[in-house]
């Protein structure tokens, strides 16, 4: 049997963007009947929210879209580079942090921006962090991550991106 492709979505605190990406990926993979082909997790670069559930504001937005999920925040660990095939980051700071960790193991090829897979990104790499903003920012982030995750799943399923490929 083929090994599952192992993905980890990463943001700053692991309570808004990365757990939403994880939940949306599972949703679309299950919808397409391909969830068995993947292992998916999320993490944050910071330790502030370890063990905490997702921010209630993003959960409300997700619920309005029919998505309900459970999650507890965790911090990325260098050993995660042995566990995962790909890391999909949300912003430049997270990218820099992950590349610093990856360089210790020569695995920078595993780190990508999630927004690379957003067909409406128009060159923008970052998924904005809505933490200090209003409800409209959370809705925007939901839509950006939703599009990006669908694009990512399509890239994986079409073979444009695989666990053996080095970026």
Report the CATH number at residue 116: 3.40.50.2300
Structure confidence at residue 165 (pLDDT): 55
Where in the sequence is the domain holding 54, given as residue range(s)?
7-157
Residue 4: how many other CB atoms lie within 10 Å: 14
Catalytic-residue membership of 8: no
Q: Looking at the domain assignment, is residue 2 inside a domain? A: no
Q: Looking at the domain assignment, is residue 163 inside a domain? A: no
Structure confidence at residue 129 (pLDDT): 97
Question: 39-62: per-residue pLDDT in tens?
Answer: 999 999 999 999 999 999 999 999
Q: For residue 39, what are its two tokens?
A: 């292992």
Q: Looking at the domain assignment, is residue 164 inside a domain? A: no
Q: Looking at the domain assignment, is residue 31 inside a domain? A: yes
Structure confidence at residue 84 (pLDDT): 98
Q: Would you give the DSSP letter of residue 10? A: E
Catalytic-residue membership of 64: no
How confident is residue 1, by pLDDT bands cut at 50, 70 and 90? low
Give the predicted TM-score (pTM) of the model: 0.96
How confident is residue 2, by pLDDT bands cut at 50, 70 and 90? confident
Q: Which of 55, 85, 129, 146 is catalytic?
A: 129
Domain count of the fold of the chain: 1
Structure confidence at residue 163 (pLDDT): 66
Q: Looking at the domain assignment, is residue 165 inside a domain? A: no
Catalytic-residue membership of 105: no
Q: Any long-range contacts for 158-167 (C-beta under 8 Å, 24+ apart)? A: 161/86, 162/5, 163/3, 163/5, 163/6, 163/85, 163/86, 166/109, 167/109, 167/110, 167/111, 167/112
């Amino acid at each position: 049997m083929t090994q599952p492709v192992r993905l980890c979505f990463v943001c700053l605190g692991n309570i808004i963007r990365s757990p939403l990406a994880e939940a949306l990926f599972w949703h679309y993979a299950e919808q397409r009947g391909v969830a068995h082909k993947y292992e998916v997790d999320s993490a944050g670069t910071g330790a502030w929210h370890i063990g905490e559930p997702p921010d209630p504001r993003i959960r409300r937005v997700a619920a309005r879209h029919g998505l309900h999920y459970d999650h507890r925040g965790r911090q990325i660990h260098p050993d995660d580079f042995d566990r995962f095939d790909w890391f999909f980051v949300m912003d430049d700071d997270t990218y820099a942090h992950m590349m610093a960790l990856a360089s210790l193991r020569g695995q920078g090829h595993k780190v990508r921006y999630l927004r690379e897979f957003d067909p409406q990104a128009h060159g923008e790499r970052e998924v904005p962090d809505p933490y200090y903003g209003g409800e409209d920012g959370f809705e925007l982030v939901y839509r950006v991550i939703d599009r990006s995750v669908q694009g990512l799943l399509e890239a994986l399923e079409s073979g444009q991106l695989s666990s053996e490929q080095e970026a």
